[in-house]
Amino acid sequence: MTINSKIELPNKPNQKFDVSKTFKIDSKLSVKGFKDKTEWVPEIDEGYIFDKETTLSILAGFDHNRRVMIQGFHGTGKSTHIEQVAARLNWPCVRINLDSHISRIDLLGKDAIKVRDGKQITEFQEGLLPWSIQNPVALVFDEYDAGRPDVMFVIQRILEVEGKLTLLDQNKVISPHASFRLFATTNTVGLGDVTGLYHGTQQINQGQMDRWHVLSTLNYLDPNQEFKVVVSKMADFKNAKNQEILKNMIKLANLTRNGFANGDISILMSPRTVISWAQNFKIFKDVASSFKLTFLNKCDDMEKPIISEYFQRCFDLEVDGDNSKS
């Protein structure tokens, strides 16, 4: 996929989707998407479970052109949630991770040397942001609260629904496509890192926060839903023995989340970590060893006894014992 070509879709969505049937949530709404799928549309994860409130917030972004920000702890699936909604609406979707290395030039574009008719010429190469604005694209800024100040001020220009993007280097003003949509995911709510988990996050200008129309919080799933999600991604966890191990993994993960909320520990297990643990368990055939390699070795030495106790409570095993599983 390259950004040189225009996405060939109707100017506006041309297909209605029943929210209840499409996303398996309780709703009488219907939304519009595209009938045809292009190469820019994410692949559908059939086992994905949609959070109702977050899904309705994202759908408001797509159907009513709202600027939507999804906030939550790491590993809750914020970006994936947006992608999976886009996948079912056949809406092209592009993700940009706003880490500290992404600059204004990376977003807007830069002069590049090209060879044409045997001669070297300097030609402006458009960045992802101008291209996205001119196409029916759902643009997702990941780790939005980690963006550099110069980047944030560029984004601020397009937060207004009719906001135009001015390319000063090109003396060009770009109007947004009728089906351009804008989303962001953050670990914080614009106040910077108040938990100690997310070094590198910035406080977001309040004037910019005001331009985001919808802010939805995506929390960790309840244990039963989390179990279904992990099982859907682990085909060889279908037997009763492995499923019991998985339930205890999720139980331990929730203990770390509660411990973090209570201030007992400074780290927690995300659903992403649980999936990694399950995958490592299948490799090493040992629940304790895979736990240490996946999570415990990342913990502070002062907190390891607490987390080891969580493990013992869930599995009735010592972390350093001989706990081989065939």
Convert the pLDDT of each residue in 84-112 to its tens digit. Answer: 999 999 999 999 998 877 888 888 887 77
Average confidence (pLDDT) over 63-77: 89
Spatial contact of 317 and 290, defined as CB atoms under 8 Å apart = no
User: What does each C-alpha distance from 110 to 47, 115, 152, 288 come to in angstroms?
Assistant: 41, 16, 18, 51
Spatial contact of 323 and 287, defined as CB atoms under 8 Å apart = yes
319 φ/ψ angles, rounded to the nearest 5 degrees = -60, -35
**Residue 253 predicted with pLDDT over 90:** yes
Percent of the chain with pLDDT over 90: 51
Q: Kindly state the tokens that stand for 129.
A: 């942001």
Convert the pLDDT of each residue in 5-53 to its tens digit. Answer: 788 888 899 999 999 999 999 999 999 999 999 999 999 998 888 999 9
In angstroms and rounded to an integer, the radius of gyration of the C-alpha atoms of the chain is 23
User: What does each C-alpha distance from 55 to 28, 49, 72, 143, 226 come to in angstroms?
Assistant: 13, 10, 14, 19, 17
Indicate the pTM of the whole model: 0.82
Residue-level pLDDT at 103: 85
Please list, in sequence order, all residues whose beta carbon lies within 8 angstroms of the beta carbon of residue 62, skipping any fewer than 6 positions away: 31, 32, 33, 85, 86, 89, 91, 138, 181
**Residue 325 predicted with pLDDT over 60:** no
User: Cα–Cα–Cα angle for 279, 280, 285, nearest 5°?
Assistant: 110
**Cα distance between residue 284 and residue 306, in whole Å:** 24
**Cα distance between residue 197 and residue 72, in whole Å:** 12
Convert the pLDDT of each residue in 128-165 to its tens digit. Answer: 899 999 999 999 999 888 878 888 888 888 888 778 88
